[in-house]
Amino acid sequence: MPAGHSTGRSRRSLRVSRRAAERRKRLRRTLIGSAALVTLTAAAYTMAPDRELTTVADGRPGGRSEHGGEDASAGEGGHPAPQGGKRSPAPPHAASAAGGSTAGGSTAAKPSGSPSPSPPASASASAPSPVPSTGPGVFAASTVSGQPQGKGPARRWRVEVEEGSGVDPDTAARSVEAILGDQRGWIKDPAYGFQLAGPGQPVDFTVKIATPTTTDRLCEVVTPELIGETNCRAGHTVVVNLKRWQEGSPQFSGAVEEYRALIVNHEVGHELGREHETCPGPGQPAPAMMQQIKGLLGCTANAWPFDPNGTYLAGPHVP
């Protein structure tokens, strides 16, 4: 064996062993790194759905992030925006699910449970009170008084309202006074005048606002289609049906206040000696003395005896 041969082989074997050991170390580092990456990825995947579910469960489409600041991915009134897209609109129930809204933003929803539903705040405020169909037949008189209206002799009057109707006598009296004093009303004729009488003062006629049943009794209504529906003049009493005062008429296309004017002008017209008139022609204003509750016959609804120019809105006399 040549000198030095054994020593050379030993050195080569040592180098081979060191290289193998280094490869094993690199392999272990690679495996450890890969395992760590897999673990982190799995953890991130597990956490991401939990965050999304929390946002939905909280019901805060424009709510706050876990750090207390505004969620930049959410807009006012909508859900968080999908990546690369627009915000989806809030569903119809979003407002109730979020517990309503305040000025400038949404309020947060209750986090859990099934809260009892409550009616909208505006429902009770805007819903009209039901009109009672009957009453005791006892009336309360207005206590306010007014100045003479018109150029003719003043016919004195007052309002009486059936108890339990929900109508204030003094408020109703002021409404009637405004109607009788309107320049489109009967005072346009210089032969007529009116004055709201105070308590204890004598009157020429009375305006009674009565429930439908009491109206039928006072007016002696027997026509089936008019029972509970109409107004009348009985003697020197103008009887206003509470239902018509509060709801108007399906035949009259106008505000309730306008229909009240028609009731007063028509029935006070009878007190003045005026008789029924009918439609003068299609498209023309219906006379105030027309029984418009029975139909307009081609005329347009109208509450006033005169037009703004002072012309009397007449129609053919009804025999």
Q: pLDDT digits over 61-90, tens only?
A: 333 332 233 233 333 333 332 323 333 333
Token pair belonging to 234 = 């009985």
Length of the chain: 319
CA 54, CA 52: separation in Å to the nearest integer?
A: 5
Element (H, E) at 106: strand 105-106
Average pLDDT in the 9-29 region? Answer: 66
Closest CA relative to residue 174, chosen from 187, 158, 190: 158
Q: Report yes or no on whether pTM surpasses 0.75.
A: no
CATH T-level assignment (fold) for domain 139-294: Collagenase (Catalytic Domain) (3.40.390)
Q: Give percent of the chain with pLDDT exceeding 70.
A: 61
**135: nearest Cα among 214, 208, 207:** 214
- Token pair 């309020």: residue: 107
